[in-house]
Every structure is written in C-alpha cells, then in structure tokens.
C-alpha cells in the first residue's frame, strides 16, 4: 500500500509539472474576425484585441487571412506603415508566430493601405515569472522608468492546465478508493 501511495504522489508531481509547463496559449489574432482590414468604424480593433489579452514568452499568435499578408516590422515601420523592409513576411493564409522573447512585437498587413486603415498590431510580450528563490534576495532600488502597468487577464485562448483538472480529480478519487479498499 505504501508503494501505491508513493506511485500516486510521483504521478501527481509529474502531472502538476506538465500542467505548469504546458500552460501556453495560442491566440487567434482578431478572434472570430481574424486578420483583415478593419471597417471604417473599427480601425482600433487590433489595439483593443491586444489590450484584452496577456501575452507571455512561449505563447503564440495565430493569424488567419485571405488575400493578405503578415509582416513583422520594427517600431518605425509599424507607426509609418512601411512595408519595404520587414523583419519577416508571411503570405500563406495561416501564420503561427511563437512569441519567443519579451517586449513589444510589431505586425502590419502587407496589402496596400490596409495598415493605414488600421490593420496593424503591437503585442507586449511578458516574461514568464521564474520560480522564486529559496533564499531571500535583497530588494532592488526603485526606478519609475522601469515600471509597467499590469496587463489585463487573458480572455481568449485555451489553457492546457484547466483541461487537466477533471482528470486529476478523477484519478485522485480512484486512487483513494483503491487505497481505502471500499467499493
């Protein structure tokens, strides 16, 4: 019985580690509307979409589009809708970009005038918080230019960790039944 309990705790530890490591999200840019030129009355749709989501290193953006493209550009290219010198360009209709470093990432449409009409997106990618150290660390000095406002909670995308909760609950109930010996 002790070995069964040890096996249970080992499995629970592995499942927990997998849920934490697998807590990455793939965001569909623009939700149901996808990556398209906004209507005249909704030119800020991508700014609003980005503001309601929280992007972390390891997440990814899923751009779905027709007769268009996605350009990753520098800040200047974003603000001036300059398509002439992109960092990278995609035009296959379905582009998934992994967010692999913290900081702002700028996207614009490569179609003529789409960027000027609001089809551009900037996402601020946050660093995944490391596990806190086991010893106390002296406080750092405060510098107001380094502080950022917290991002809103995510509202789209699916979290792998949430899907594991019912499974872990069922597994726990089964193992408790087995250990206690009752039907």
* Stretch 73-101: mean pLDDT: 97
* Stretch 154-178: mean pLDDT: 58
User: Is the alpha carbon torsion for 44, 26, 124, 89 positive or negative?
Assistant: negative
Predicted pLDDT of residue 15: 45
Residue 179 has pLDDT above 80, yes or no: no
Q: How many other CB atoms are found less than 10 A from the CB of residue 171?
A: 15
Least confident of 34-43, 96-105, 139-148: 139-148
Residue 162 has pLDDT above 80, yes or no: no
Q: How far apart are CA 172 and CA 13, in angstroms?
A: 12
What average pLDDT is seen over the chain? 79
Angle at 116 between CA 125 and CA 120, to 5 degrees: 20
Residue 17 has pLDDT above 50, yes or no: no
Please report which confidence band the pLDDT of residue 66 belongs to, taking 50, 70 and 90 as the band edges: very high
Each residue's pLDDT tens digit, 146-157? 555 555 555 544
Write the CB contacts of 137 (distance below 8 Å, at least 6 apart in sequence): none
Q: What phi, psi does 27 have (nearest 5°)?
A: -95, 130
| Domains, the chain, with CATH or none | 25-128+155-173 (2.60.40.420)
Please report which confidence band the pLDDT of residue 34 belongs to, taking 50, 70 and 90 as the band edges: very high
| DSSP string of 70-128, one letter each residue | EEEE-HHHHHHT--SS-SEEE-SSEEEEE--SSEEEEEEE-STTTTTTT-EEEEEEEPP
Predicted pLDDT of residue 30: 94
Q: Which of 27, 160, 44 is nearest to 95 (CA)?
A: 27
């Amino acid at each position: 019985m002790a070995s069964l309990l040890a096996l249970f705790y080992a499995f629970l530890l592995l499942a927990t580690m997998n849920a934490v490591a697998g807590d990455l999200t793939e965001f569909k840019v623009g939700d149901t509307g996808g990556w398209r030129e906004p209507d005249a009355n909704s030119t800020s749709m991508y700014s609003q979409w980005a503001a309601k989501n929280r992007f972390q290193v390891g997440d990814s953006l899923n751009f779905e589009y027709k007769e268009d493209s996605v350009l990753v550009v520098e800040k200047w290219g974003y603000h001036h809708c300059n398509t002439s010198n992109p960092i990278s360009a995609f035009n296959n209709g379905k582009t998934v970009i992994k967010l692999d470093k913290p900081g702002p990432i700028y996207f614009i449409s490569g179609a003529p005038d789409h960027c000027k009409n609001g089809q551009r997106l900037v996402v601020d990618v946050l660093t995944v918080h490391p596990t806190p150290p086991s010893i106390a660390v002296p406080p750092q000095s405060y510098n107001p230019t380094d502080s950022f406002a917290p991002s809103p909670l995510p509202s789209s995308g699916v979290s792998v960790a949430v899907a594991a909760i019912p499974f872990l609950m069922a597994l726990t109930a089964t193992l408790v039944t087995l250990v206690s010996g009752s039907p």
